[in-house]
Amino acid sequence: MPNSPNGDLADTYRRYFPMILCKCSRILRGSGDAQDVAQETFIRLWQSQGLLRDPKAAVAWIYRTATNLAIDKLRADRFDAMPVEMKDEHADAEDISHARHYLRKLAETLSEEQMLVAVLSRVDGMNHREIGEVMGTSERTVRRVLEGLDGSLAKLRAKGEA
Amino acid sequence: MNSAKHPSFFALDQAVASGNISVTLQQHADACQQCRQHLARIQPAKGVEPAWVANLASQQARIVALVVPKRSLSTLVQWLVTFKYPLMLAVPAAAALLFLVRPSPRLGQGVDADPYVGVKSAGPMLWTYIRRSEKTFLWDGTAAVAPGDRIRLKVDPARLTFVSAFSRAEDGSWKLLWAGRSDGKNPLALPVAWEIDEQPGQERLLIVASRQELTAAERSDPGIVSNNQDRWSQALFLQKSGHASESSPANLDASGL
């Protein structure tokens, strides 16, 4: 690590922030919330200096933390009196709004573990081994949670909520 | 992204972060536009870091300056033995002095308190974010805002579960911008943003966190809210760039951040 803390911070920002923002934008598309969550994730990463010694572990931590913070953000949408939506020139506004509404519905219904796995699997396209690495659990546990998730989604579809 | 065809975003991110992109991965990216685009997006950022990163650096520098240099146990014991008699006198004296000069708590502060944007060690906290064009940065408490800037607030209400945000109108009355509940545990980013208009002067905001909903009297004049165990208020004064500070106060339009 360089001696200058500021230089170190700038290097860490340049290296990790673009991927954090990309990760957050996949869940919180089309809003300034992605930037907020990315900043919060980066600040937490910076405060957990030990993580930076192992870049692969740091990325796994980023995926877990950013996903949990984004889910919190989606749940906080329940208080949304006047929705904040940024126009995304590269995406259809209706699709974004629908996707966000869908994820928010899921966040209100699924358990924290199920929601984390749902995002990592369905939004980030990760396989069981990768999800296990992010969650710190075995592939078997991931499979079990995904099976439970399928069951929960089927129930939601039956109710017409998903 | 289908893991059967593509490496996941996660695999690509780990490869870039570790600086170890395998030949197989590189060959796939060369042939796959989607993966190539993702790799381009997550390449290390270029240019100057945004203001909130600089703020983080300055906060860290202050913390580093406050950290007492580490001593080995033997050095510490030797030091205590050497100074035990002066310490026996100094510690009670310091405690007595602390008791005499301890600042009074910030109870009863009105809305004319200094703008607060930083982090407190305990109690509610407030962050003010400014989005200018495509960049969002943490307001430093002094920087001028410009027409078109979008203001977003995040509050850690510290066990207080109701949050209200007001702006001061030209006639001196307060206008409720947003009110809602927090879970009392996690910071709450207010789900609304306000765009700075082109009227000259100063934007004046008041954020109140409370254990119960504000009374009708408090809603109509939140300036009367006193800080105590059930109420916390914080005023913000945002000077518009290029305008005199004594000009007309806030006139905010609800808008997307």
Give alpha helix (H) positions in B72-149.
73-82, 84-101
Residues of B in contact with A18 (CB under 8 A): 41-45
- The average confidence (pLDDT) of chain A is 79
Element (H, E) at B132: strand B125-132
Residue B175 is classified by DSSP as: E
Are the beta carbons of B218 and B125 closer than 8 angstroms? no
**pLDDT for residue B214:** 86
Contact B31, B117 (CB under 8 A): no
Residues in B closer than 8 angstroms to A5, CB to CB, are 57, 60-61, 64
What's the rounded Cα separation, in Å, for the pair B130 and B213?
28
Both ends of chain A: CA-CA distance in Å?
48
CB-CB neighbors (< 8 A) of A84 in chain B: 152, 191-193, 256-257
Inter-chain CB proximity B61 and A23 less than 8 Å: no
- Touching check for A146 and chain B: CB below 8 Å? no
Dist CA B35 CA A156 (whole Å):
33
| Residue from B1, B5, B8, B10 to probe the interface with A (highest A Cβ count within 10 Å) | B10
Among partner residues B8, B10, B136, which is closest to A32 by beta-carbon distance? B136
Among A5, A10, A80, whose Cβ lies nearest the Cβ of B191? A80
Are B28 and B6 in contact by the 8 Å Cβ rule? The answer is: yes
**A35 and chain B: CB distance < 8 Å anywhere?**
yes
3-state SS assignment for residue B177: strand
Q: Is A7 in CB contact (< 8 Å) with chain B?
A: no
Residues in chain B with CB shorter than 8 Å from the CB of A9 are 49, 53, 56-57, 60
Predicted confidence band of residue A10 (pLDDT cuts 50, 70, 90):
confident
Model confidence over B16-71: pLDDT tens digits? 999 888 898 888 988 999 899 999 989 887 777 787 887 777 766 655 554 444 44
**CB-based contact B188:B163 (threshold 8 Å):** yes
* The pLDDT value given to residue A131: 96
Q: Does A81 touch chain B (CB under 8 A)?
A: yes
Share above pLDDT 70 across residues of chain A, in percent, rounded to a whole number: 78
What's phi and psi for B170, nearest 5 deg?
-60, -35
Q: pLDDT for A49-71, tens place per residue?
A: 778 889 999 999 999 999 999 99
How far is A65 from A118, CA to CA, in rounded Å?
15
What average pLDDT does range A130-139 have in this prediction? Answer: 94
Please report which confidence band the pLDDT of residue B110 belongs to, taking 50, 70 and 90 as the band edges.
very low
The ipTM estimated for the assembled molecules is 0.83
Element (H, E) at A43: helix A33-47
Long-range Cβ pairs for the range B8-11 (8 Å, 24+): B8/A124, B8/A125, B8/A126, B8/A127, B8/A130, B9/A22, B9/A23, B9/A26, B9/A124, B9/A125, B9/A126, B9/B38, B10/A59, B10/A60, B10/A63, B10/A120, B10/A124, B10/A126, B10/A130, B10/A134, B11/A130
Q: What is the pTM of this model?
A: 0.52
3-state secondary structure of B44: coil
* Proportion of chain B above pLDDT 90, given as a percent: 8
Report the largest interatomic distance among the alpha carbons of chain A, rounded to a whole angstrom.
Answer: 59
> Exposed e or buried b for every residue in A128-161, given b needs 16+ CB within 10 A?
bebbbbbbeeeeebbeebbeebeebbeeeeeeee
Is A79 in the B-facing interface, judged by CB distances under 8 Å?
yes
Q: pLDDT value at position A19?
A: 95
Assign residue B174 a region: left if phi > 0, alpha if psi is -120 to 50, beta otherwise? beta
